[in-house]
Amino acid sequence: MDLWFTENHTKNVRFSIKVDKHLHSERSEFQRIDVFKSYEFGNFLTLDGLMMVTERDEFAYHEMIVHPAMAVNPEIKNILVIGAGDGGTVRELCHYTSIQKIDLVEIDKRVVEVCKMYLPQTACKLDDNRVEIFYEDGLKFVRKKQDFYDLIIVDSTDPFGPGEGLFTKEFYGNCYNALTQKGILINQHESPFYEPDKQSMILSHKRISSVFPVHEVYQFHMPTYPSGHWLFGFAGKYFHPIKNFNEEYWNSLNIKTRYYNTDIHKGAFALPTYVKDLLSTNQE
């Protein structure tokens, strides 16, 4: 008998992965957590039936959520990561010896525990001595901080369930206040292709643009996410991702990557016309 994981990308489109073993299943206080072993994508984590991380393509997501900001401001030392319980974002940050402190705020302790058990590829740096984990709601955590972080990375689930508050204008305003004078906010910015990801993308951009003077969006290819075309936001008080891009500095670090490089950095901010049009629509 064949076993398949299937996610509905729309009412009319499905994405399926053939599964070797269903390794783990539980309902935590916040969401349903599953881990599967697959032939094509290695082990993968789903939350409430939605794809989060696969061993095969996580490098694209985690390199692209971390390195563009780090290549713009070499002075980043103190970082807040919200969500990201799988650990992949923290793993990429740990390449930088210049970073002094990483606060990881994950609402669901069980995600971290399950990933440590089944996804060591991403969870491998969660015990780095610069990392402190807070099991709290990121929305509430960020309210308590003022002028504190050089970089905030929002590596969240989609805007429903526990992740809903992380897409609100109030949250982006609180991130602005929690950032230092030259602070940068990177956020999971959904996708331009299918509904409702498209509407979430438009709304996030509108809200971020009303808070941050610099508000750019960049793209990358993510085979297991709906449509494979995904976006991150780069918002800043001061730095612009292209005008302040420090290509020489980043190349001098010799960080080993598989997706990110300095050509990708420049290209990723060039968006297709239909995406630019969507981002310039005035909808709230």
CB 82 within 8 A of CB 105: yes
CB 135 within 8 A of CB 109: yes
Which residue of 68, 138, 236, 241 would you call a contact of ligand SAM, by CB under 6 A? 138
Which residue of 60, 64, 93, 107 would you call a contact of ligand SAM, by CB under 6 A? 107
What is the arrangement of strands in the sheet containing 50-54, beginning at the earlier edge strand? 3-10, 13-27, 32-38, 43-47, 50-54
Q: Do the strands 13-27 and 3-10 form a parallel or antiparallel pair, or are they unpaired? A: antiparallel
Interacting stretch for ligand SAM, rule CB under 6 A, among 1-9, 150-158, 207-215, 236-244?
150-158
Q: Compute the C-alpha angle 125/258/200, nearest 5°.
A: 80
Q: What are phi and psi of 47, to 5 degrees?
A: -120, 125
Residue 34 or residue 106: which is nearer to ligand SAM going by CB?
106
For the question of residue 155 being annotated catalytic, the response is: yes
Bridge partners of residue 81, in order along the sequence: 104, 153
* 268 touching ligand SAM, by CB under 6 A: no
Q: Do the strands 214-221 and 229-236 form a parallel or antiparallel pair, or are they unpaired? A: antiparallel
* 192 touching ligand SAM, by CB under 6 A: no
Of residues 87 through 106, those in contact with ligand SAM by CB under 6 A are: 105-106
Task: Give the position of tokens 């789903």.
Answer: 46
Residue 17 or residue 245: which is nearer to ligand SAM going by CB?
17
Q: How far is the CB of 231 from ligand SAM (least distance, A)?
A: 11
* 155 touching ligand SAM, by CB under 6 A: yes
Of residues 20 through 49, those in contact with ligand SAM by CB under 6 A are: 47
Residue 201 or residue 239: which is nearer to ligand SAM going by CB?
201
* 55 touching ligand SAM, by CB under 6 A: no
Query: What is the token pair recorded at 250?
Result: 């980043």
Query: What is the token pair recorded at 49?
Result: 């039936």
Candidates 34, 57, 86, 155; catalytic one: 155
Q: How far is the CB of 84 from ligand SAM (least distance, A)?
A: 5
* Nearest Cα residue to 76 out of 246, 257, 269: 246
Residues that bind ligand SAM (CB under 6 A): 47, 52-53, 61, 82-86, 105-108, 111, 137-139, 155-157, 162-163, 165-166, 188
